Structure 1
Amino acid sequence: MNDNCMLAFLNALKENNTKEWMSANKSWQKEANADFEKLLCRILSELSAAGCPMSGGHDVKDFIMRYARDTRFSHDKSPYHASLRAHLSPAGRLPIPVGFYIHLEPGNSFLGGGLFASQFKDATSMIRNHIVSHGEQWEAILREPAFAEKFVLIGEKLKNVPREYDAALSVSEYLKHKSWAIEYPVSDEELDHAEFFAQNAAAVFLLMRPFNDFLNQALEGFHMPERG
């Protein structure tokens, strides 16, 4: 597997982000996609061997997000994401239940966990309520030394604690969040060594697992809204 093919293709796509260029370079795109699928299979295999199966019976393609961008409300009309992205979850690429996110982009690759999407109001309320009722567990996860050494909580936030919650709670700062996520940066050089990267990615994801498990417990019973 030539891992540099992925980044080389993405670099070229960034510089030539048009439908015409993509159409003319379909074979290169397929080669990059195939390498990405092989990399994901290695990571899934590592996770499964560690007792954390994530495939859910899905084909690896079910985890991969599409290149096409929704440009309807964006000033940037570039038709494609210049990145390779996947969400490893029993539900495939859907954001809930939360899983492990892989984002490959030259100079900006990272591994992620948690809920990045902030548009699901029911999900936001469910997580806030779970944090209130399980505050000690939540704070213990975030403060666990191996976790805290690698991750910092990120996500879209309000300026103030929502009025339905007590601002004096020890977890009140976390209630400002509309999304709760963590990221781990990946250098371009790491992607040159597929086997090592897959092992490291699986190890990082396993550190994220208690964080994801907490959020998924909060989200039990959540149903993704149907697309209109």
Structure 2
Amino acid sequence: MKQILDYLAALEQNNDREWFHAHKEEYRAAARQFEELVGVLLLRLRELDGSIPPAKPGELCFKLMRDTRFSHDKSPYNPAFRAHIGPKGKLPIPVGYFLFLRPGDRSFLGGGLFADCFKDATDMVRQRISAQGGEWQRLLSDPAFASRFTPQGSRLKRVPQGYESDHPQAEYLKYKSWYLEVPVTDRQLLGEGFLDEAIETFAAMRPFNGFLNEALTGFVMPQRPGK
């Protein structure tokens, strides 16, 4: 794990194509170590969540290259290793388990719906929270869940049209995405117990993911133009 953190720290300090290409071997070594970690997590997650299919670890990992076309930040690389282990691999829907590694105590374990750009997905989750508000509240109030997690997400200022402003779950109906993040320090990453801690955390997220995926049944990922 130290190899991963050291490489990413160096990339953050030298975020340009010339440095990246001059240090391709260091990148390959760090990427291999990350894929090995994802592979182990995948095997263990499949033991506790039957919705996770077999996959090649590399297929679950995101590239370091950034799309800078519409960004003020023109740094070509995202100095973080990221992977999503879900029912459809690294596709954000159905939701799954997200691993984000970045040095400086900026790593985290995540779950839920991070993307708020899919309007149909947002509508589907809102409808289920509206119709199954009691189930949603029981999930969030469960001591095993509440002691670990606080749902996050981008949100509107007001309850959207079509929903009751005095609904018991009105605050969550404002959300456009619903996700969980558990911070991970560099010291935790380097410790011997990190894998067990990660699996324990992901296991505790499973009911949250399950609720969202029930809501998202039948969702179709939009096709890119020209596809």
Counterpart residue identity of residue 162, structure 2: E
User: Which residue number in structure 1 is paired with residue 75 of structure 2?
Assistant: 78
Give the structure 1 partner of residue 141 of structure 2: 143
TM-superposed deviation, 1:46? 2.3
Letter in 2 for 1:196: G
8 Å Cα contact 1:44-1:54 kept in structure 2? no
**Corresponding residue for residue 124 of structure 1:** 122
Aligned AA (1:148)? A
Distance 1:14 1:58 in 2: 30
| Identity value in percent | 46
Q: Any conservation in 2 of the 1:100–1:111 contact (CA below 8 Å)? A: yes
Report how many aligned residue pairs link the two structures.
224
Determine if the alignment matches structure 1 residue 37 to structure 2 residue 35. yes
Query: Residue 168 of structure 2: SS of its match in structure 1?
Result: coil
Would you identify which runs of 4 or more consecutive aligned residues in structure 1 move more than 6 Å? none
Decide whether the 8 Å contact of 1:99 with 1:113 is kept in 2.
yes
Query: TM-score, length-normalised on structure 1?
Result: 0.95
Q: Please point out which of 43, 58, 75 is paired with 1:61.
A: 58
User: Which residue pairs with 1:110 in the alignment?
Assistant: 108
Q: Is the 8 A contact 1:115 1:180 kept in 2?
A: yes
1:53 deviation in Å? 4.5
What is the CA–CA distance in structure 2 between the aligned matches of 1:102 and 1:186, rounded to whole Å? 10
Work out the CA distance in 2 between the residues paired with 1:9 and 1:54.
Answer: 33
Instruction: Structure 1: give runs of 5+ residues left out of the alignment.
Output: none
* 1:221 matched residue in structure 2: 218
Q: CA deviation at 1:114?
A: 0.4
CA RMSD of aligned residues (A): 1.1
Provide the C-alpha distance between the structure 1 equivalents of 2:74 and 2:50, rounded to a whole number of angstroms.
38
Whose RCO is larger (CA < 8 A, sep 6+)? 1
Report how far residue 126 of structure 1 moved. 0.3
Say if 2:199 is the partner of 1:202: yes
Return the offset for 1:45: 2.5
Contact 1:46–1:199 (8 Å) recurs in 2: no
Q: SS at the partner of 1:137?
A: helix
